[in-house]
Amino acid sequence: MKLGIFTKPIHVEKIVNYLNQNTGIDYIISTNKQEIESFEFDIGISYCFPHIIDIKNKTWYNYHPGPPKYPGMTNYSKPVKDKVTDFAVMCHKMTNVVDKGPIVKIKHFKLDSIPVNSNELGNITHYYLFQLFKETIKELKKDV
């Protein structure tokens, strides 16, 4: 079973380094939406991928850097404005309705203080999102 992982360039190195450390996971990785159609893979993974994906006849999962309360492209200014002290990241199965698929796992975390700005919350959130990725990526194949 091969994973097709689609993400932003900033995340490629850490994902590849993790997957190449004896995980036994067969994968391709791309930052290009046009390559979705040309690559052969069984399960699609959107890890902070900034494009809407037509899931067609494949199973897809989305790693979202925010809780269900903040769907869509993550903009951390709203949670900063809301003065959050509890936040979360999640992985959910994708459907044809953006951010409405069944949740696989939510990882909640407390913040030591109210984030000063979007960059601060984003940096903290991406740390936890990658932890969630490492906790769940091997299990997703079993859900297909």
Domains defined along the chain, listed by start: 2-68+90-108+129-143 (3.40.50.170)
pLDDT value for 138 = 86
Assessment of whether the complete model's pTM goes beyond 0.75: yes
Q: What is the mean pLDDT of residues 104-111?
A: 96
Q: Is the pLDDT of residue 144 over 60?
A: no
As given in the structure block, the two tokens for residue 128 are 């936890």
pLDDT for position 31 = 96
Residue 98 reports pLDDT greater than 80: no
Q: Phi, psi (5° rounding) for residue 42?
A: -95, -40
Chain segment 3-55, per-residue pLDDT in tens: 999 999 999 999 999 999 978 899 999 999 999 988 999 999 999 999 888 88
Query: Among the listed ranges 7-11, 29-33, 95-99, 137-141, which one has the minimum average pLDDT value?
Result: 95-99
- Residue of 131, 132, 54 whose CA lies nearest to 92: 132
What is residue 101's predicted lDDT score, i.e. its pLDDT? 87
Check residue 1 and give its pLDDT.
87
Single-letter residue type at 113? S
Percent of the chain with pLDDT over 70: 97
Query: Given this model, what pLDDT does residue 143 score?
Result: 60
Res. 141 pLDDT band, cuts 50 70 90 = low
> Are the C-beta atoms of residues 79 and 36 closer than 8 Å to each other?
no
CB 47, CB 94: distance < 8 Å: no
